[in-house]
Amino acid sequence: MLALGLSMLWEQSVDPEAALRERFGFAGLDAVEAWVSLALARTWEITVDSCSRVVISDHNAIVWVHGDQGTLVVKWSRARERFSNLEASARLLRTVAEHGIPVAAPIATVDGLDRVSLDGPVGPLSVTVLPELPGEWLDVSDDTSVRSAGAGLAEVHRVFRSVPNDDLPSLASPKALPERISQWLTGWDRGFAPAASQRVRDRLASLPSLEDPVQLVHNDFRAANVLTRNSRVVAVLDFDDVVFDHRVNDLAKATVYLGTRFTDWRPTPAAAQLMFHAGYESVQPLSPTEREWLELLVLWHGIMAIPGRDDTAGWASAATGDHEHQVDPPLER
């Protein structure tokens, strides 16, 4: 899992001590422990004995603490423009947990709030406290785990359909998928797989319209956010990036990025993609139209994932070259 002490989640070339000081105003781990201990004592009535790990990601941090309630995970963000969304996502976690999805539901403050804004050294921080959940990151070489992950995403989508849209007021409805893809093809395609991009363009012109309405989706379902034990999903993590979209687009994005962790960024093997879809459809079968769209969307997300000409992990070949993505017929439930 993640290393003890202070580290960067993604930005491996950044000095974590400098990031902690410059982004959040903390002089070191001792300063973090002191601030977190006081914050949890005052706002949650939780006693913190020690802090073992701080991981920084952009303007966010994750802190592991140990105290009278065992091991907890404290998450904060200094991105003020996201505070309302983060508060809504914390409430959403509680709703999802109440529907039986295995998630780390927030520990409420003494005032019954799931996420609060607290004064940090250099400005307000949006803070939530979660229980640490046991498990190992999803291994995409384990077929049973991958199938369980597909079923897990389908269950998340099922529960999300019942969440009122007005509980997430700051999430805008997306543009229509054909418009998003067309805009990417004309304005953002970097030309790393021109033949594949042309296939997307040609196929887009002939696909029927999706009939399902947009709904809330996870938007970051991958190995780093799925914990397993004995080849079964025991937790789905990180609901901070939820959006409204078609479920098949979320399934396609998850298909492409399922094997990614933090600094281990590589494409999902073709066999794992098919097993993931089988697991999903064992819970929520796709319509014929959605299955047509899934093939296109997996290709599109695969092209977007190509990092550049120096593609040592093989994203381009995974999307376009060594194997042709196919969507198998749905399995019997």
pLDDT at site 10: 84
* Distance (Å, whole) CA 203 – CA 89: 35
Secondary structure element (H or E) that encloses residue 40, with its range:
helix 29-43
pLDDT at site 173: 79
pLDDT at site 150: 98
pLDDT at site 162: 85
Strand ranges of the sheet holding 123-131, from the earlier edge strand across to the other edge: 5-8, 48-57, 60-67, 70-77, 123-131, 116-120
Contact 326, 298 (CB under 8 A): no
Sorted by where each starts, the structural domains of the chain and their CATH numbers stand as 5-131 (3.30.200.20), 136-321 (3.90.1200.10)
pLDDT at site 287: 97
Q: Which sign, positive or negative, has the C-alpha torsion 231, 301, 326, 280?
A: positive
What separation, in Å, do the N-terminal and C-terminal C-alpha atoms of the chain show?
34
The pLDDT tens digits along the chain (333 residues) read: 677 899 998 888 999 999 999 999 999 999 999 999 999 999 999 999 999 999 999 999 999 999 999 999 999 999 999 999 899 889 899 989 999 999 999 999 999 999 999 999 999 999 999 999 999 999 999 999 999 999 999 999 999 998 776 666 567 778 999 999 999 999 999 999 999 999 999 999 999 999 999 999 999 999 999 999 999 999 999 998 999 999 999 999 999 999 998 877 899 999 999 999 999 999 999 999 999 999 999 999 999 999 998 898 999 999 985 444 344 444 443
Contact 80, 124 (CB under 8 A): yes
* Distance (Å, whole) CA 258 – CA 267: 8
pLDDT at site 268: 96
- Tell me the one-letter amino acid at 102: P
Report the candidate in 194, 102, 113, 202 with the shortest Cα–Cα distance to residue 153.
Answer: 102
pLDDT at site 325: 38
Report the candidate in 141, 192, 167 with the shortest Cα–Cα distance to residue 311.
Answer: 192
